[in-house]
């Protein structure tokens, strides 16, 4: 077999066999197929697509390129959740303890923020001492003993994806549906996931801006799960406006803590309950999604979900006094509450601009190596459809640099758009793909 023939076949819209895909993935992972051939192949895939079977074969070849986590014997059913990324998305911080409180152990490997999209690990690292670098042995031990884990990727899971992603990043081949779907699913499957809830965002603050693209990605990932003998459900979630009020690490952590105390913004709480319900139903802890929702809501109200979150923080070395009293969390030196420049109905709060502004303040990274400031961020006090009076507080900026604060104020004023007529609120979800 030769790499050039496989590239030509995909260039000419052919369907690759499992052997050809394996040969190619093994070749570039071992460094035997050079970068220029791997990027040429990625471009052929981007232009000509892949069948569901090819996409699954690619996923499984990337899984086979490294370690896989075997959690059988540790938990009855291995659950996982994945969000395709967004602004203000602190869902995992709430959903994991809720699911664990309902009796389903949950170990999750999460990522860091990149670009305008935030990352779960950065939010948890606002807690002094909290470790996101558990070893595989520590992951398994904690899952067994505590029943919940929230850490970074341990072991050498799906290394082919890491290599291919780096190439895609510099060869214009990131936005390929089969390449994105296989990239995400290879990491989930390598981490042992059997039942997966996918929170696929759509809108101006999402990777997939249109609903059609988000649905296609969701369908592709659900199909991969099916062909790979796993079960997945994908929820198509709005990401035109930020999720919840807070954007920025310690601010988001605080909002998650409020939500775990059965408070928090209504829109964010409702989002978490839907994701948790699907996880509980898929994991066999409830007879229906509705039953699951009631269970999840009951554990938020009972305080058990909050207790599980504390257990998680303690197990991973975090100083629990910071979550017991969130006033201790990192605080910015400058806080400005910005009034609405006019009255009317909010017709848009551009999630991407809000996310980029949080990065500008220091809450996120442009490059993987950038350091972040856990204290800074933004509170967006309204949602689309709200009627706001002139002079009412529209948003608050938490900054550590006066120049950046001024720039942030300008951008955030532009991110808010207005109508004189009533505006329909945005839906939380646009559909479910099973
Ligand atoms: N997230 C991933 O993990 N992979 C992609 O290709 C895109 C987003």
Confirm whether 366 is domain-assigned. Answer: yes
Beta pairing partners, 432: 235
Residues 293 and 361 in one domain: no
The Cα–Cα gap between 217 and 57 comes to 16
Quote the domain boundaries for residue 338: 330-419
72 and 251 Cβ atoms separated by less than 8 Å: no
The Cα–Cα gap between 376 and 38 comes to 40
pLDDT tens per residue, range 209-233: 999 999 999 999 999 999 999 999 9
Matching residue, tokens 């309902």: 102
Residues 160 and 306 in one domain: yes
CATH number at residue 361: 3.90.1170.30
The pTM (predicted TM-score) of the whole model is: 0.95
Q: What pLDDT score was predicted for residue 139?
A: 95
The Cα–Cα gap between 196 and 224 comes to 11
Q: Is the pLDDT of residue 62 over 80?
A: yes
Share of the chain above pLDDT 70, in %: 100
Q: Which of 10-14, 65-69, 117-121, 186-190 has the lowest mean pLDDT?
A: 117-121
Nearest residue by C-alpha to atom 1 in ligand 1: 184
Q: What pLDDT score was predicted for residue 9?
A: 98
Burial 410-431 (b: 16+ CB within 10 A, else e): eebeebbeeeeeebeebeebbe
- Active-site residue flag, 92: no
Q: Is the pLDDT of residue 367 over 80?
A: no
How sure is the predictor about 328, in pLDDT bands with cuts at 50, 70 and 90? very high
The Cα–Cα gap between 98 and 109 comes to 17
Closest CA to 351 of 200, 207, 243, 249: 243
CATH number at residue 85: 3.40.1030.10
How sure is the predictor about 264, in pLDDT bands with cuts at 50, 70 and 90? very high
Residues 155 and 272 in one domain: yes
- Active-site residue flag, 365: no
- Active-site residue flag, 409: no
Mean pLDDT in residue range 312-340 = 98
How sure is the predictor about 111, in pLDDT bands with cuts at 50, 70 and 90? confident
Nearest residue by C-alpha to atom 5 in ligand 1: 180
46 lines ligand 1 (CB under 6 A): no
Share of the chain above pLDDT 90, in %: 93
Residues 168 and 114 in one domain: yes
184 lines ligand 1 (CB under 6 A): yes
Nearest residue by C-alpha to atom 2 in ligand 1: 184
Closest CA to 79 of 197, 207, 165: 197
- Active-site residue flag, 161: yes
3-state SS track over 209-229: CCHHHHHHHHHHHHHHHHHCC
Confirm whether 236 is domain-assigned. Answer: yes
Provide the 3-class DSSP secondary structure of residue 268: helix
Given 10, 22, 81, 82, the catalytic residue: 82
Matching residue, tokens 């035109």: 240
Nearest residue by C-alpha to atom 3 in ligand 1: 184
């Amino acid at each position: 077999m030769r790499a050039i023939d496989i590239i030509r076949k995909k260039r000419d819209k052919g369907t690759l066999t499992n052997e050809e895909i394996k040969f190619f993935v093994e070749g570039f992972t071992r460094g035997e197929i050079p970068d220029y051939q791997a990027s040429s192949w990625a471009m052929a895939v981007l232009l000509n697509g892949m069948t569901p079977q090819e996409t699954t074969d690619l996923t499984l070849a990337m899984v086979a390129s490294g370690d896989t986590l075997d959690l059988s014997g540790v938990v009855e059913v291995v659950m996982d959740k994945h969000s395709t990324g967004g602004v203000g998305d602190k869902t995992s911080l709430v959903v994991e303890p809720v699911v664990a409180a309902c009796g389903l152990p949950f170990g999750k490997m999460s990522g860091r923020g990149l670009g305008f999209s935030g990352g779960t690990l950065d939010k948890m690292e606002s807690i002094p001492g909290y470790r996101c670098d558990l070893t595989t042995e520590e992951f398994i031990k904690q899952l067994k003993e505590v029943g919940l884990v929230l850490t970074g990727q341990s072991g050498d899971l799906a290394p082919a994806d890491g290599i291919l992603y780096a190439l895609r990043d510099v060869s214009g081949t990131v936005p390929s549906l089969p390449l994105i779907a296989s990239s995400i699913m290879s990491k989930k499957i390598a981490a042992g996931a059997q039942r997966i809830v996918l929170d696929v965002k759509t809108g101006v603050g999402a990777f997939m801006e249109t609903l059609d693209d988000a649905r296609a990605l969701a369908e592709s990932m659900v199909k991969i799960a099916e062909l790979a003998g796993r079960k997945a459900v994908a929820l198509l979630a709005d990401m035109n406006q930020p999720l919840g009020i807070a954007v920025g690490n310690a601010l988001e952590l605080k909002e998650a803590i409020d939500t775990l105390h059965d408070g928090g913004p209504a829109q964010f709480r409702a989002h978490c309950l839907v994701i948790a319900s699907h996880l509980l139903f898929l994991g066999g802890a409830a007879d229906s999604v509705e039953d699951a929702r009631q269970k999840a809501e009951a554990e938020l109200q009972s305080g058990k979900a909050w207790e599980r979150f504390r257990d998680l923080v303690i197990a991973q070395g975090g100083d629990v006094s910071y979550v017991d009293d969130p006033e201790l969390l990192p605080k910015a030196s400058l806080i400005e509450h910005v009034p609405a420049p006019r009255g009317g109905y909010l017709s848009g709060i551009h999630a991407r601009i809000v996310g980029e502004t949080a990065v500008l303040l220091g809450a996120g990274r442009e490059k993987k190596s950038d350091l972040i400031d856990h204290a800074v961020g933004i509170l967006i006090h309204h949602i689309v459809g709200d009627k706001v009076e002139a002079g009412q507080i529209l948003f608050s900026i938490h900054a550590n640099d006066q120049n950046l604060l001024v720039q942030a104020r300008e951008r955030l004023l532009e991110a808010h758009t207005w109508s004189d007529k009533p505006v329909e609120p945005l839906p939380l979800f646009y559909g479910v793909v099973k």
